[in-house]
Amino acid sequence: MTVPAFGLGTFRLKEDVVIASVKNALEMGYRAIDTAQIYGNEAEIGQAIKESGVARNDLFITTKIWTENLSKEKLIPSLKESLEKLRIDYVDLTLIHWPSPGDAVPVEEYMQALLEAKQQGLTREIGISNFTIDLMTRAINAVGVENIATNQIELSPYLQNRKVTEWARAHGIHITSYMTLAYGKALKDDVIIRIAEKHNATPAQVILAWALAMGYAVIPSSTKRENLASNLNATTLMLDAEDMASIDVLDCNDRLVSPEGLAPAWD
């Protein structure tokens, strides 16, 4: 099983807003949905999925274990609680949301607990999020690279994270990009706008197509039906070498997500 290239993100979407977003997305043909324990919207997503009528086998659902649940005593019970909220018997992918702050719970402990969850059938695949090269190395040593489906990291035209992505590629770890539009900042970039006009596309489509061309999975979110539809069309937009080169030079290590007390020492 591979991680779908295109999915729906649900960060910061709550209650009726997330229900509407998920229902609209599923109606339009989205089949991958990304959530997390800390988002506080697993139950609403479960409701939206149930009411959508889309068969469970056609969906790819991802959730993430919060840092408070990383110990071997808490990880599997917390995942079972997520499954109850989502109203499903298994998730397709479970990620470690952030590495344990200060290494309070060792990488080896929670990765092995996550592998046990996979062996119990609670999740089909397991992976990591916000992991540096050092943390990826420890995760590989703990469970084997064949058991790490992806590393979900912040990636945008302004934070291309090449050191991490090149290391991951060389060691067989797939990358999922989050915050790909840089909180909307990249949508206003003159370079992106010029490429969009060239292709009769939107700036969001250009950025998502760039990430897809780099081999990353993307999980953009939107509360607007027209944006959900438009984003999905990024999968058919083909950028040329000149476009890719123009976006490459936008990299300025502009990291937007680095919560104090939670973020590791970035590469």
User: Hey, where are the domains in the chain?
Assistant: 8-248
Q: What is the pLDDT of residue 1?
A: 58
Distance, in Å, from the CA atom of 71 to the CA atom of 76, rounded to the nearest integer, reads 9
Distances in whole angstroms, Cα of residue 143 to Cα of each of 26, 108, 137, 175: 33, 8, 10, 18
pTM: 0.97
Span 58-93, pLDDT tens digits: 999 999 999 999 999 999 999 999 999 999 999 999
Span 101-134, pLDDT tens digits: 999 999 999 999 999 999 999 999 999 999 999 9
Topology at the third CATH level for domain 8-248: TIM Barrel (3.20.20)
Phi-psi region at 188: left, alpha or beta (left = phi > 0; alpha = psi -120 to 50): alpha
Neighbour-count burial of 102, counting CB atoms closer than 10 A to its CB (0-12 exposed, 13-18 middle, 19+ buried): exposed
Where are the alpha helices (H) located in 53-152, listed in sequence order?
75-86, 107-119, 133-143
Distance, in Å, from the CA atom of 238 to the CA atom of 243, rounded to the nearest integer, reads 10
Which residues of the chain fall below pLDDT 70? 1
Q: Is the Cβ–Cβ distance between 235 and 22 less than 8 Å?
A: no
Q: What is the pLDDT of residue 14?
A: 97
Q: What is the pLDDT of residue 214?
A: 98
Q: Which residues are catalytic?
A: 39
